[in-house]
Chain A
Amino acid sequence: MKAVCWHDKLDVRVERVPDPAILNPRDAIVRVRATAICGSDLHLYGGFVPGMVKGDILGHEFMGEVVEVGDGVKNLNVGDRVVVPFPIACGNCFFCQRELYSLCENSNPNAYMAEKLWGYSPCGIFGYSHLLGGYAGGQAEYARVPFADIGPIKVPDSLSDEQVLFLSDILPTGYMAAENCGIQRGDTVAVWGCGPVGQFAIASAFLLGAERVIAIDRFQERLRLAATALDAETIDYTEDSVLEALKDMTGGRGPDACIDAVGMEAHAHHSMAFAYDRVKQAMMLETDRPVALREAIQGCRSGGTISVAGVYGGMIDKFPAGTLMNRSLTIRTGQTHVQRYMRPLLERIEKGEIDPSFVITHRMALDEAPLAYRLFRDKQDDCIKVVLKP
């Protein structure tokens, strides 16, 4: 089959590799119908995530048709059309039983690696470094899906591939980011980063009852999408000081909740802090650049909540612990417990409350993946979200 393989920093290639096979009783094989490049794939593409090995198959957002099931999979049949959640979760362990699927204790065969870096290991994830299991990903013609009796959700024929594809990651991720805000009537939510997860976080914040949502980015096409498709107010951080603008827009008090939908590779406009972090990251003195996270903490109203959906990998520097403590702030975060959200969000899509395909700007063939990664990374051609068709 053909698959998108990681070779090095900024070097991904479409290559012929063997077809996947069933390795465990609860596995299934899915023929991929649609797959997407995630913003977090760009952290791998940029070489910011440790534990990548030459030849690793990328991709954790995919859906397709079941072509083979292991003996232990009773709820799926060959021919079923399914969306696959990016966290691999067993459904049996302490964490899965509490619906904390991305913390599954039984899905990361390389748990010892993650333990060294993070203390304990989270779940395995498709195509997301050997730290998280080294599982072959879904940017391929076929993918092996472990614990297929727990993860994949069947989707009705009435919905197109593109309408359901984002149930695999970014729609639940945006939704969980908003849910973690604990939104109450009259709340204003500020969202740093208006990529696809930011867009879904904005949409979800409104669905969960936010009065106003303020979207922060520097790319005009993203800000325009947030304003026109979702009715958000916007701040272009290259034009205005974000903290001052937020203060002005919220009656001098700050937003009730702040969502960091940016993560470890944040940018800032001509700021000393950005230069400082970029240099330290390049020198391997810190792994992540927390520009957006710092700003979200600093800008949040006292007693408010900071919800972190953006991916961080390691250590950050100059963390405003004093702000956090003295102003009674709460931080909530985590890799998304996708399995928990797939069914309710599928219902919302079926009811027409949200059509996630609005973020798609590019549809390309799997063969064009190297170009797609480049376009998405450099935000060329107003690229917001790429869907690849094998």
Chain B
Amino acid sequence: MATGLNLKLNLTRADRLGYVVGGLALIVWALRRPSFARAGAAGVGGWLLYQAYTGRNPMFKPLGIRVNPAPALPEAVETIVVEEAITISRPRTEVYTFLARGENLPALADEAVQITRDLPGEELAWRATRGEALMHFGSLGLRDAPGGRGTIVSVSLEYLPSGGSLGAAISHLMGRSPQRVLADKLRRARSLLETGEVPTTDGQPTGRR
């Protein structure tokens, strides 16, 4: 996809430091007064140290959390990467024109979004800041779907992790992850471009009280 990054890490540097501290603490605690129960704690400690060493927590893998330790923007030390693609049954120029309009850009809801690259009909890149601080940056690429099936939009977005991988995992499970926000924005774009409206049930009757 767009980044072409081979990302195997899903723990941030802060996560890994925390795993080292936690893992060592468990092992020290177990060694001070050894018992069978504490041997288990030492095992967990060892497992944490191993994850800190590899930079990967296998439990986060199904959630698709990926950490980029060397982002393209120098001001970002490390980022969490989100990618989505969608096929829209409309011509590329029309899709581009729609997505290039501010509110339709598949960016996260940050304070200020600034376009950093604009190749009409092909590519858009942006960076988003809150105050002075960089919050996320992203880019989208457009290409014709084969066989006249419309336009493929591929988005790659990198955001600065607050709360580390665990924070990302929790937001995933709560259904409010940047991945969901991005997927929803692309679905909304497809619906508006193809049907002229966004499917909704907001405001319909129910028997809930």
Contact = CB atoms under 8 A, between A and B. Distances in A.
A136 interface: yes
Given A111-B187, A112-B180, A112-B184, A56 B206 contact: yes
Given A94-B149, A106-B194, A55 B199 contact: no
B57 interface: no
- Counting chain A CB atoms within 10 Å of each CB, the highest count among B89, B175, B201 belongs to B201
Interface in B153-209: 175, 180, 183-184, 187, 190-191, 194-209
A144 B197 contact: no
A134 B205 CA distance: 11
Contact of B203 (A7, A23, A54, A57): A23
Given A5-B207, A55-B208, A136 B201 contact: yes
Contacts of B206: 5, 17, 53, 55-57, 136
Interface string A283-327: 000000000000000000000000000000000000000000000
Contacts of B208: 53-55
Interface string A139-153: 010001011000000
Interface residues of B, number: 27
Interface in B111-163: 149-150
B190 to A, nearest CB: 7
A186 interface: no
B89 A20 contact: no
B43 to A, nearest CB: 30
A361 interface: no
A1 B200 CA distance: 21
B203 A55 contact: no
A135 B195 contact: no
A106 B199 contact: yes
Contacts of A105: 190, 194
A144 B196 contact: no
Contacts of B198: 24, 109
A93 interface: yes
Contacts of A92: 89, 194-195
A54 B207 CA distance: 7
A55 B197 CA distance: 26
A108 B199 contact: yes
Nearest to B208: A55
B180 A57 contact: no
Contacts of B202: 23
A135 B89 contact: no
Nearest to A109: B199
B197 A26 contact: yes
Contacts of A248: none
Most buried by A among B196, B199, B201, B208: B199
Nearest to A56: B206
A26 B89 contact: no
Contacts of A109: 198-201
Interface in A1-43: 1, 3, 5, 7, 13, 15, 17-21, 23-26
Nearest to A14: B207
A136 B197 CA distance: 19
B149 to A, nearest CB: 7
Interface of B: 87, 89, 149-150, 175, 180, 183-184, 187, 190-191, 194-209
Interface of A: 1, 3, 5, 7, 13, 15, 17-21, 23-26, 53-57, 72, 88, 90-94, 97, 105-109, 111-112, 124, 133-136, 140, 144, 146-147
Given A57-B206, A94-B149, 11 more contacts: A13-B207, A21-B204, A24-B200, A26-B197, A53-B206, A54-B208, A90-B195, A93-B195, A94-B87, A94-B89, A105-B190
